[in-house]
Amino acid sequence: MRIALFNFKQTVDYRLEVLSGLTVAMALIPEAVAFALIAGLSPLTGLYAAFVVGLVASVLGGRPGMISGATGAIAVVLAELALSHGPEYIFATVILAGLIQGAAGFMRLGKLMRLVPQPVIFGFVNGLAIIIGGSQLSQFQNDEGHWLAGTDLAVFGALVLVAMAIIAFLPKLTKAVPGGLTAILVIFGLVTLLGIDTKTVGDLASIQGGFPPFHIPQIPFDLETLMLIAPYAFIVAGVGLVESLLTLNILDEITETRGQGNRECVAQGAANVLSGLFSGMGGCAMIGQSLINVSSGARARLSGIVAAVMLLVFILFGAPLIEKLPMAALTGLMIMVAIGTFEWASLRTFRRMPTSDVIIMVLVTGITAVLHNLALAVLIGVIVAALVFAWDNAIRIRARKHIDEKGWKHYELFGPLFFGSTTVFQEKFDVQGDPDHVVLDFAESRVSDMSAIEAVNKITARYAAEGKTV
């Protein structure tokens, strides 16, 4: 595993990296606050996690340009524990999850991501796009949870559309500044100059706070506590690694470069350990923010570091200004992220894809979008894909038969012999009708597992019972 933190040979556009990091920092605030509230924690718990996880993962991670922070997937897992036992147990769970992730990285388990087939990745990405887009619907509601109507809806919708238009069309005119940052500043200017009454970041919660305090969780350090938090820690570790490594793979495709999965596992582990020690709720890679960063042109670690540092600056000094940012601008930004995240190409290739791949993709998309459990969706997708693969290969074993000049019957076998194909294998032989000497030729086949060995033993025993030699 490489230990160099920075690639000094990489050409870095510092202006673009800083501006992109600033854009990401602004977009991180409402999400971190919202995810903390989902988990039943204070807004600062989410903001501290976004800062610590974002900074550590940007410095140590295996994918420059990838953004990490507090995420909804982690928040959903922790919500039940937070409700029943409070934040101290959350911090301990996050620390344990980080240790598990670090161990996975040192054991080089990151390479297991190569076992995730493309339909599962498509389904994961499409489901995540639906989650990102769907999560913005709540912005079209008032404080009482009722849908906006009349003038309020028209004003908010118009601001969202203006933000989306800027993000969509500005890059076609100039790439000097990120479209997302421009949209935020333009909408902020319109709202301020015209005196428009609309929702702001401050309506969610105050983000004013101090530096994240170092804090050892105040819980009993005994076996009972370990048994309580361990299941949550393993789920958090699994969800975090799956989401981070899939995001890494997606950015690899976009940037046409290759990240380091095992290094990212270690970095995510270190980030979560420190997050738990500094009063954070933990987190992982954020595909939405990562796409904002990469689409703005960022390719180096600097953008992620700037995003994390600026987030801390906002918490310490800039809260009054940031709390005035219109939610319409951030909503438009996230809707455009959702549109850009969705793999529209997967829909165009529906007719050319095998039916099994279509089913897997739709299944993973549905589980991701409905349950918001990314790890479960990917796990089920991989299992179904493996079963489909096993079934397809189970019927591919073939036997070519001929009798030589000595009267011996030869079975030339083709295809893999494994647990799924043993039944078809047994049906290839005419034990009673075959001559006394039979040859099984596995030159073009492969005996893959214990079930295959047992199948060969059984067919040999059947011939022996008839007094014939194999």
Per-residue pLDDT tens over the stretch 329-378? 888 887 887 887 788 888 888 888 888 889 999 999 998 888 877 778 88
* Domain end marker among 312, 341, 370: 341
Question: CA-CA distances (angstroms) from residue 327 to 279, 284, 294?
Answer: 26, 24, 22
Do both 414 and 266 map to the same domain? no
CB 190 within 8 A of CB 359: no
Average pLDDT, rounded, for the chain: 88
Asked if residue 440 and residue 304 are part of one domain, the reply reads no
Residues 6+ apart with CB under 8 A from 74: 35, 39, 236, 239, 240, 281, 282, 283, 284
Say if residue 8's pLDDT is above 70. Answer: no
Residue 102 pLDDT more than 50?
Answer: yes
Q: Report the number of distinct structural domains present in the chain.
A: 2
Q: Which helix (H) or strand (E) holds 440?
A: strand 438-447
Cα dist from 203 to 183, 198, 207, 323, whole Å: 20, 10, 11, 8
Q: How far apart are alpha carbons 18 and 149 in whole angstroms?
A: 38
For 181-240, how does the pLDDT look when each residue is reduced to its tens digit (9 = 90+)?
788 889 999 999 999 888 888 887 778 888 999 999 999 999 999 999 999 999 899 889
Which 3 state secondary structure label does DSSP give 64? Answer: coil
Weakest-pLDDT range from 38-42, 86-90, 422-426, 435-439: 38-42
How does pLDDT run across 375-422, given as a tens digit for each residue? 788 889 999 998 988 888 887 888 999 999 999 999 999 988 888 888
Please state, in angstroms and rounded to a whole number, the distance separating the CA atoms of residues 358 and 126: 13
Q: Assess whether 438 and 314 both reside in one domain.
A: no
Strand partners, 239: none
Confidence of residue 40 (pLDDT cuts 50, 70, 90): confident
User: How do residues 439-462 score in pLDDT, each as one tens digit?
Assistant: 999 988 888 889 999 999 999 999
146-160, 166-180, 252-266: least confident range: 166-180
DSSP state of 325: S
Q: Is the pLDDT of residue 2 over 60?
A: no
CA pair distance 319, 166, nearest whole angstrom: 25
pLDDT of the residue at 338: 81
DSSP for 34-76? HHHHHTT--HHHHHHHHHHHHHHHHHH-SSTT--EE--HHHHH
- Can you read off the two tokens belonging to residue 55? 């900074």
Could you tell me if 282 and 415 lie in one domain? Answer: no
Q: What is the pLDDT of residue 66?
A: 95
Q: What percent of the chain has pLDDT over 90?
A: 44
pTM: 0.74
Domain end (from 341, 357, 383): 341
In-domain check, residue 138? yes
Of all helices (H) and strands (E), which one includes residue 391?
helix 374-394
Max distance between CA atoms of the chain, in angstroms, equals 100
Measured CA to CA, the distance from residue 263 to residue 111 in angstroms comes to 11
Residue 1 scores a pLDDT above 70: no
Has residue 105 been placed in a domain? Answer: yes
Do the domain assignments include residue 266?
yes
Q: Between 224 and 296, name the one with better pLDDT.
A: 224
> Mean pLDDT across the stretch 176-181?
76
Angle between helices 72-85 and 14-38 (to 10 degrees): 40
Residue 155: its pLDDT value, please?
93
Mean pLDDT of 426-433: 90
* Whether residue 310 is found in the same domain as residue 448: no
Residue 315 sits in the same domain as residue 442: no
Quote the DSSP letter at residue 407: S
Q: What's the pLDDT at 375?
A: 72
Together in a domain, 320 and 455:
no
pLDDT tens digits, residue range 45-78? Answer: 999 999 999 999 999 999 999 999 998 778 878 8
Judgement on whether residues 261 and 402 belong to the same structural domain of the protein: no
In 3-state terms, what secondary structure has residue 469?
strand
14, 306 Cβ separation under 8 angstroms: no
Looking at the fold, whether 148 and 225 belong to one and the same domain comes out as yes
Backbone conformation region of residue 437, classed left if phi is above 0, alpha if psi is from -120 to 50, else beta: beta
Query: Measured between alpha carbons, how far is 425 from 418 in angstroms, rounded to an integer?
Result: 9
Distance CA(181)–CA(270), nearest Å, equals: 30
Residue 435 has pLDDT above 50, yes or no: yes
Residue 70, domain extent = 14-341
- Of 341, 364, 384, at which residue does a domain stop? 341
Residues 50 and 117 in one domain: yes
In a domain, 272, yes or no: yes
pLDDT of residue 383: 92
For residue 94, give the nearest of 258, 276, 239 by alpha carbon.
Answer: 276
Where does the pLDDT of residue 6 fall: very low under 50, low under 70, confident under 90, or very high at 90 and above?
A: low
Does a structural domain hold residue 292? yes
152 and 278 in a single domain? The answer is yes
422 and 309 both lie in a single domain: no
Q: 8 is written with which tokens?
A: 């000094």
Percent of residues, the chain, with pLDDT higher than 70: 98
Q: Residue 321 is inside which H or E element, if any?
A: helix 319-322
C-alpha dist (Å) from residue 250 to 50, 60, 353: 21, 19, 20
**Does 40 map to a domain?**
yes
Question: Residue 71 has which token pair?
Answer: 């995420």
Q: Residue 158 in 3-state DSSP?
A: helix
Residue 42 confidence (pLDDT): 85
350 domain-assigned: no
Q: Which of 42, 322, 2 is nearest to 184 (CA)?
A: 322
Q: Which CATH number does the domain housing residue 429 bear?
A: 3.30.750.24
CA distance 263 to 282: 18
Looking at the domain assignment, is residue 55 inside a domain? Answer: yes
